[in-house]
Amino acid sequence: MKIRTALATTLTSAALASAIGAALPSAAHADGLPLANTQASVSEMRTSVATQMQGRAFGWQLAISQNGALKAADAGGFAISAADNNGVAVPMQAGMQMELASVTKNVTAVATMKLLRRNGLTPETLVWPYLPKGWDVTKFKQVRFRHLLTHTSGINQALAAMANPPSNNSWAAMQVVVENGTTVDSQRAYKNANFALLRVIDAELWNRSGGKKYSNAAEELPITAANHTAYVLEFMTEHIFKPAAIAGIGCITPGTTTGVRSYPLNATQASTGVVLGTSSAECAGARGLAMSSAQLVQYLSKLRAGTIITQADLDWMDEFRAGWNEDSNGGDGGQFGVPDGVADNFRSPGAYWHGGDLLGSRELHTCAMTFDDGTQATLLVNSELTSGTQCGVLLKAWYEAK
């Protein structure tokens, strides 16, 4: 049902909050008016997304869950063009896996929180004792897990000051990041390297607390560039995806020629695409996991239900935006918002999300979003959008369905 009425949209967020004052309920429309104290209508959300996505991308897939159960799955456009499939276009479906790009960071954050608890550690634990033995950690001894999880490590600023910073997020690049040093408790500044480094550290934490030994040798071998991603994927499979009843999650190898392809802006059936993926050298940290929208929404619903992680750890993630990035991908739908890194429960009350983008001549865009009314929604897009953003589409749909 719709309860929105006219209100001047030229007011600033602060002015709106002041005008509504203490009477503002725990949830409000982005235009400042209260939301109905009911769950969003799934059918209205589904219709809104389909309407918004009409003609906006080559292909898209949507899934919506409420109260831990899948309620809707939809898709539009195409996964593969006619030009890429012997003249026969393949329609997009909500069960087709795609690279998640930076949405992977949410899973990495969950894995890190679980591994910290498993090893008797906390987000305030210093990370240097868990870095590879051959790395010089002298300039990195002040960094805590909290800093990496919340993008307050200063890594972004430190790399910006380097004449020749690493061009990727591989094991070797992470060694450069660590040995270059950083200034912690910096202003929140999003950087993939924070979560790429967690990929390396999480492998070590799993190795110390039950991980299989990826070698035929009898003696224990250290975590290495060659084996660390296998450790991380093993932990995610056993302790995140299995509890959520999700199977077949991994990384798409670059050069793969089967599956959903990504296309340029305004692609047609004559356009050719590529399957985007991430090598094992960088997968399962800042990017790389592949899921369908249906699998991703199931992960979100089980995460919020407490199936995967303790409520205390989930509350910490929410409070400090660890694995969430609500200012990403235009997720506020163009509404007024506060600066990045500042708590924002007015613009998007009770909503947490992370977007993902792989940019270039052929693109993909992803969004995983959860709301405090028990609704979760995911949207995967296999081309550049003609306008707006994928997270903006989901947030607009939810607001309009309240």
Residue 367's domain is classified under what CATH number?
3.40.710.10
CB atoms within 10 A of CB 216: 5
Tokens of residue 351, six digits: 């909503």
Which helix (H) or strand (E) covers residue 99, if one does?
A: strand 98-99
pLDDT digits (tens, 9 = 90+) for 137-185: 999 999 999 999 999 999 999 999 999 999 999 999 999 999 999 999 9
CB atoms within 10 A of CB 389: 22
Show the domain range for 222. Answer: 42-323+355-402
Confidence bin at 222 (pLDDT 50/70/90):
confident
pLDDT digits (tens, 9 = 90+) for 38-95: 899 999 999 999 999 999 999 999 999 999 999 999 999 999 999 999 999 999 999 9
| pLDDT at 326 exceeding the cut of 80 | no
Asked if 359 contacts 273 with a C-beta cutoff of 8 angstroms, the reply is no
Asked if 77 contacts 61 with a C-beta cutoff of 8 angstroms, the reply is no
| pLDDT at 20 exceeding the cut of 60 | no
For the chain, what is the mean pLDDT?
87
Domain presence at residue 224:
yes
Asked if 62 contacts 49 with a C-beta cutoff of 8 angstroms, the reply is yes
Strands (E), 223-373: 250-251, 289-291, 352-358, 364-370
CA neighbours within 13 Å on the CB side: how many for 31?
12
| pLDDT at 29 exceeding the cut of 80 | no
pLDDT of res. 210 = 86
* Dist CA 39 CA 68 (whole Å): 13
- Average pLDDT (229-247) is 97
* Dist CA 9 CA 335 (whole Å): 9
Give residue for tokens 């990041």: 177
Domain presence at residue 371:
yes
Asked if 337 contacts 309 with a C-beta cutoff of 8 angstroms, the reply is no
Confidence bin at 384 (pLDDT 50/70/90):
very high
Domain presence at residue 63:
yes
Confidence bin at 400 (pLDDT 50/70/90):
confident
Residue with the larger pLDDT of the pair 227 and 34 = 227
pLDDT of res. 27 = 46
Domain presence at residue 29:
no
Question: What domain count does the chain have?
Answer: 1
Domain presence at residue 30:
no
Strands of 59-66's sheet in order across:
90-91, 69-80, 59-66, 375-381, 364-370, 352-358
Q: Could you say which DSSP state residue 210 is in? A: T
Domain presence at residue 183:
yes
Domain presence at residue 309:
yes
Confidence bin at 349 (pLDDT 50/70/90):
low
Domain presence at residue 93:
yes
**DSSP one-letter string for 330-393:** GTTTT---PPTTS--SSSSTT-EEEEEEE-SSSBEEEEEEE-TTSEEEEEEESB--SSS-HHHH
* Dist CA 399 CA 28 (whole Å): 9
**Alpha helices (runs of H) in 91-208, residue ranges in sequence order:** 104-118, 145-149, 155-160, 171-180, 192-208
| pLDDT at 355 exceeding the cut of 80 | yes
CA neighbours within 13 Å on the CB side: how many for 387?
6
